[in-house]
Homo-oligomer: A and B are copies of this chain.
């Protein structure tokens, strides 16, 4: 599905689409013959919605591929993650509302600890308090490099965002984190000839940072990784003709949504219920809503099957609030699987529920991985989901005569 076709067929109307995305939703049974987290959860509201919906299983990137958060989301959002690659530095910068420009190279930064010989002793500087981080960032901001602008922004604890702005900076750069202790931080190296200038200037910055931080133990050095420039990626408005809003508590997901031109709907508080309140408050202002629930993934990463079940039940309990708004199209899905038994993202396809007035219902009154495997959407590339959502919103005209 190329975007030219979408752009040719899109015909905006008043219909509203909600994508309720439970991060890492897909799971696995704990024992032979057992149920997954989603199948275990008591979800009367999801099940009732499933009965009137079309179900399926989506591969966010491709069969067998375990998606990172970026590619997983891009796939569900309708973009081919193999075509559009987004660096982690860019996501981190967007997540703290940093306005990246086309001449910016962004990276994720860590304060870290090195010993007298310059060898790493703690890659996270003991997770210093955010307030200390803010003071150190002030120090780093005093560093000047000829010909470029430097931005350093606190994220949380030991994490910060580094941005270098200037002409002719490439982003094919190796990272400085050796991923182990007892060795020095690595110098940045260029992975293509177009990044030589960036290498020289960033290594200057790192040397200057080493000097500025020398007396600031435990945060006496920096690590930089995920160097990336703002990718050329068409917006939701351009591709799908949608005025889209993101409801997300975690910075990276807001950053990703912002990259696609989604507006940020401000969440007062941090709970799932708070996110649904944000949905209600913003209902009149947008025609696509991405509502992100993080805790399913966190529980999966922690290997906590029961907690993941509980988070799913918590979302199910909120569903009537969404239904009361009478969206034209509802999608319930994940961005990848995070089975508690694996304690990590996985390659398993994600369950998809698509509900709308003119969907052809599968008459399967259950929302779960095996139920979705029997659904009429079949097993499909995630990027096909948005065209289906738009069709069900009657926002696509006929192709050809």
Residues of A within 8 A of B (CB): 1-2, 5, 9, 26, 28-29, 32-33, 36, 52, 56-57, 61-71, 81-82, 85-88, 91, 226, 339, 341-342, 344-349, 358, 360-363, 369-370, 373-380, 384, 386-392, 396-401
Contact = CB atoms under 8 A, between A and B. Distances in A.
A221 to B, nearest CB: 23
Contacts of A57: 376, 378
A65 B396 contact: yes
A399 B28 contact: no
A57 B66 CA distance: 22
Contacts of A388: 63-64, 347
Contact of A397 (B66, B341, B378): B66
Contact of A399 (B65, B358, B392): B65
B399 A68 contact: yes
A348 B374 contact: no
Contacts of A345: 398
B375 A378 contact: no
A363 B358 contact: no
Contacts of A358: 28, 339, 341-342, 346
A339 to B, nearest CB: 8
A360 B379 contact: no
Given A360-B348, A370-B376, A376-B349, A400 B67 contact: yes
Contacts of A386: 64
Contacts of A370: 362-363, 376
Contact of A66 (B28, B63, B348, B391): B391
Given A373-B376, A378-B379, A64 B398 contact: no
24 contacts: A5-B62, A5-B65, A29-B361, A32-B361, A36-B360, A63-B388, A64-B384, A64-B390, A64-B391, A65-B391, A65-B396, A66-B397, A67-B398, A70-B400, A87-B401, A91-B401, A346-B391, A347-B396, A362-B370, A369-B376, A373-B374, A373-B375, A374-B374, A379-B379
A91 B401 CA distance: 9
A390 to B, nearest CB: 6
A377 B376 contact: no
Contacts of A85: 400
Most B CB within 10 A of own CB, among A9, A375, A399: A399
A397 B67 CA distance: 9
